[in-house]
Structure 1
């Protein structure tokens, strides 16, 4: 894991662009931005906002942003109202008319968080040109090692059913599945105990 490092401000644009490509066909992002061209244009902006919002957790990157994870620290999984207000203009710029769908997904995600303190694997992505090389697992394992050292379990949700095998191999256990209201995508919630 020697090439996995903390992502800094200098990595913001590259990480946001890579995550935009990685999530181009994600069911949740396809729901938020139904038009593929609009999605391609807006996703890097959205991931730049998320990158900024996760500065207090862990932002890990492999190589020149071939893979990245954004983590939120225990007790900070939900975005507080003050942070949402501070990010309002960038979020409006990123989401545009998709704000209601974005808020619907965000609200559903928050409603399914565990009650215990946990590290939240908020975002994990690998550049499509680099997938299949183990980079995603490597950058996730680096975050899991830090989470284990803190003594807190980890949690994630995914709207991509094919991700369940990867996360299962990393020690995550399926704890539920649920649907975003009003025609939104299905999500799977997974938890990993300390040392998983």
Structure 2
């Protein structure tokens, strides 16, 4: 945390990804989509462990494909919030499998074959509904529950907006959220609702922040 008390967002190095995965695992315990992907794991601690392993696999794929990951580190040097992003080239389900083939065993251990199949179906539906104009994709953003309410999510969202602003060919930042409470949060940061989807039967808001 910097001296002015505002959260400081930094690019995360690969050696920090394990901590980021642990934080994201806890952040998404109650997320409707992940409940649909692994419906049989109901214990919160067990769910967080499985989700953390899933996020480790996802972060490894991000690293292999060169996609940036941003985060916030607390005073003890631990990653407590993270955002996974993608540039203009957004990988679909098949490309994700090809890029992350080595991570498939880890993901199967984390969420099972059924969960992996449901997850790939989700990626396929979402990737087919991106805006057509060049944009950055805010794929995942989460904050460890004990650190929520401190402005960390806002700081990460604003950092991604700056990444888009620095590139004249980028029209804006796009994301999906499956949590209704997040709609107001993203709206307050300049996102508008483009529409809704129902992958895996989960209500999903498509939101877009155009550059100003």
Same structural fold, with TM-score higher than 0.5 when normalized by the shorter chain: yes
Residues 131-146 of structure 1 mapped to structure 2, 5 A cutoff: 131-146=148-163
Pairwise CA distance, 1:157: 0.4
Kept after mapping to 1: 8 A contact 2:33/2:202: yes
Whichever of the two has the greater Rg, that structure is 2
User: TM-score, normalized by length of structure 2?
Assistant: 0.84
Superposition deviation, residue 133 in structure 1: 0.9
* Deviation at residue 8 of structure 1 after TM alignment: 0.7
Question: In the alignment, which residue of structure 2 is the partner of 1:12?
Answer: 17
1:8-40: per-residue Cα shift (whole Å, max 9, x none)?
111111100000000000000011111223522
Native 8 Å contact 2:69 2:83 kept in 1: yes
What is aligned with 2:51?
Answer: 43
> What residue ranges of structure 1 are gaps of 5+ in the alignment?
none
SS of the residue corresponding to residue 61 of structure 1 reads strand
Shift of 1:65: 1.4
Q: In the aligned structure 1, how far is the partner of 2:211 from the partner of 2:122?
A: 28
Q: Which of 170, 176, 181 is the aligned partner of 1:162?
A: 181
3-state secondary structure, aligned to 1:122: strand
- Which position in structure 1 is the counterpart of 2:109? 93
Residues 110 and 76 of structure 1, relative CA distance in 2, 3 Å threshold: closer
3-state secondary structure, aligned to 2:194: strand
Whether 1:121 aligns to 2:121 is no
Relative to the length of structure 1, the TM-score reads 0.90
User: 2 CA distance for matches of 1:78 and 1:144?
Assistant: 23
Distance 2:59 2:53 in 1: 10
Corresponding pairs, count:
193
1:30 and 1:39 in contact (8 A); partners too: no
What does 1:35-74 align with in structure 2 at a 5 Å threshold? 35-37=41-43, 38-55=46-63, 56-63=66-73, 64-74=78-88
Over the residues paired in the alignment, what is the CA RMSD in angstroms? 1.7
2-side partners of 1:84 and 1:119: how far apart?
21
Alignment of 1:73-92 (within 5 A): 73-78=87-92, 80=95, 81-92=97-108
Judged with a 3 Å threshold, the aligned counterparts in structure 2 of structure 1 residues 78 and 147 are, in CA distance, closer, same or farther, namely: farther
